Amino acid sequence: MVAIRALTADDCMHALTALLHMSYASLAEQGWNFTAVDQTEQVTRDRLAGAQGFVAELDGRLVGTVAVRGPKPPDEAYIADPPPPLYTTPGTAILSQLAVHPDCRGLGLGERLMDAAEAWAREQGFAQLALDTAEPAVALRRRYERRGYVTVGGVQWQGKTYASVLMSKALVPC
């Protein structure tokens, strides 16, 4: 049975980074150089700084992950770029690094991880949850749309082979 739980300081960053690499490999094969395709362990740590991470665990092995955090200060870089205004808007939580191991796809883990991230954001009092994804990644965009996310803008991240869409979802209090 797969358990969804909060990421802890005892979780292995090497294993989490390897999970991200495996999970994003199919996107790299399509020519999309998402950060998680080849990020270092330090970048994994940096992207989790100030965030609440969640993991899916199966038999002691990390098989899924997601991170969620509050808005970024306008002067804090988002990976290598200044954050778009959406990511600095008060009341906005930011979702990132959603990943499910290829062997575990189709089990609903991505949905459960997003449920955990959305619940956390609601509990923290955020009014909306925002994310970005590759504009040409139609299947990913549709997945988010089915969960109530709408496209609210776009951005071209430095060094990326694709344009990104910015999406957000209003969070209704529980």
**140-160 b/e with 16+ CB inside 10 Å = b?**
bbebbeeeebeeeeebebeeb
Tokens encoding 4: 């969804």
pTM over 0.75: yes
So where are the chain's domains?
A: 2-131
CATH architecture of 2-131: 3-Layer(aba) Sandwich (3.40)
For residue 75, the model assigns a pLDDT of 83
3 state DSSP class of 136? coil
By CB atoms closer than 10 A (0-12, 13-18, 19+), residue 125 is exposed
For residue 136, the model assigns a pLDDT of 94
d(CA 9, CA 4): 16
Mean pLDDT of residues grouped by 10 in the chain (174 residues)? Answer: 95 97 94 94 94 96 97 80 91 97 95 97 97 94 97 94 96 76
The C-alpha torsion from 60 through 38 and 67 to 88, rounded to 10°, is 170
